[in-house]
Amino acid sequence: MKGNFKTEIFKKIDTPFYYYDSELLRQTLRTISQEAGKHPEFCVHYAIKANANPKVLAFISQAGLGADCVSGGEIQAALDAGFPNDKIVYAGVGKSDWEINLGIDNDISCFNVESIPELEVINELAAAKGKVANVAFRINPNVGAHTHANITTGLAENKFGIAMRDMEKVIEIAADMKNVKFHGLHFHIGSQILDMGDFEALCNRINELQKQLEMHHISVETINVGGGLGIDYHHPNRVPVPDFKAYFDTYARHLKLRPGQTLHFELGRAVVGQCGTLVTKVLYVKEGAAKKFAIVDAGMTDLIRPALYQAYHKIENISCDGPKQTYDVVGPICESSDVFAKAIDLDECHRGDLIAIRSAGAYGEIMASQYNCRKLPVGYTTEDLAKIK
């Protein structure tokens, strides 16, 4: 089953480009609000690193989500898109001074701190402004996730977070500082996780850590469990909206929140992944010695995930229905890794056919580059298409 696209309008747009299905994004946001809303203590932030297209951000901020940022540029993008400053959280192992100052100046909700040296700098910069910055400590829970090694972030050997053995130490250090306030604990075990057992394991670890802190009379206002919920890359038409019910229910059942605590989530891919499609055009069909190539005008500069992670994306020829042929779908970049898929069956391709690379709303346009001096792809929403005649 193929996606339902306005192919005639697509023909009027220079390829490659990103198309964002606004109604699917709205449906996804409604589902998040409905499922998270069953639990008044749940607060959902959108991870801007997944997609910072201003039109996409506007939809998400209007839906009432907060923002999870990992750079000063993302903080500014969140503010520009209308996210309330008191719903912005900022994480990252390498926060520079100007980024920290931007957060302090705008009174963001919380800095998710990943090292003692970073804590000291935040305290120093906040003191210079006569302010107190809220901080949460990103604790590395040493919980593995059933996902790609490059997007697993919760193991002991990862660069992220503070080791569990140092948790009490850093909280005590913060307590002696005048310009930071210990606010909570932050966790994130990885991305593209579909096994709810991974999140259950994180809940169990957090429960253990809370008990440990309470033995030392340390209370925690907020728990931030990051994001990580995956999408169905193989069946974007059949499963367009992730299973948010199972996701939020897992935390509601297994995480033992204390009275007055709030639980924060940082969802990215699950919010925008399925609404985005990279649309590209067949330049040539090349007969190789042992295979057939569909050479398209999009490349790894437009969507790097297949080259970077060997990631799978469903690919469809949306220009025609016909007999199937087997192709390697490749781009024009001067790199052998510029391959979207190998040995896949598509409706027979011809020069000029439009190809849809699905589930590309997350880590697609945002990771695009100008390698080979290529133009950056443009992103269009459903509303933009309605203006094209």
Question: And the tokens for 313?
Answer: 């994306």
- Cα–Cα distance measured from residue 311 to residue 59, given in angstroms and rounded to the nearest whole number: 27
Task: With H, G, I as helix, E, B as strand and everything else as coil, classify residue 169.
Answer: helix
258-267 residue pLDDT tens: 999 999 999 9
The whole-number pLDDT of residue 289 equals 87
Confidence (pLDDT) at 150: 44
In this structure, what DSSP letter does residue 229 have? B
- Which pLDDT score, from 0 to 100, does residue 389 have? 78
| pLDDT-flagged residues of the chain (< 70) | 144-160
Say what the pLDDT of residue 14 is.
98
Q: Which pLDDT score, from 0 to 100, does residue 155 have?
A: 45
User: What pLDDT is stored for residue 153 in this prediction?
Assistant: 43
Instruction: State the first-to-last Cα distance of the chain, in angstroms, to the nearest integer.
Output: 28
Q: Are 329 and 343 in contact (CB under 8 A)?
A: no
CA pair distance 222, 297, nearest whole angstrom: 47
Amino acid, res. 43: C
- What is residue 305's predicted lDDT score, i.e. its pLDDT? 98
H or E element, residue 294? strand 292-296
Distances in whole angstroms, Cα of residue 83 to Cα of each of 70, 74, 223, 337, 343: 15, 11, 21, 38, 44
Instruction: Give pLDDT, residue 343.
Output: 97
pLDDT in tens, 112-152: 999 999 999 999 999 999 999 999 999 988 776 544 444 34
Sorted by where each starts, the structural domains of the chain and their CATH numbers stand as 7-16+274-386 (2.40.37.10), 22-271 (3.20.20.10)
Report the DSSP beta bridge partners of residue 262.
Answer: 222
Q: Which amino acid is at 238?
A: R
Do 109 and 88 meet the contact criterion of CB atoms below 8 Å apart? Answer: yes
Q: Look at the block and give the residue holding tokens 């040493």.
A: 142
pTM of the full predicted structure?
0.94
Residues of the chain by 3-state class (helix, strand, coil), percent to 5? 35, 25, 40
pLDDT at 322: 87
Q: What is the dihedral of CA 291, 294, 297, 303, to 10 degrees?
A: -70
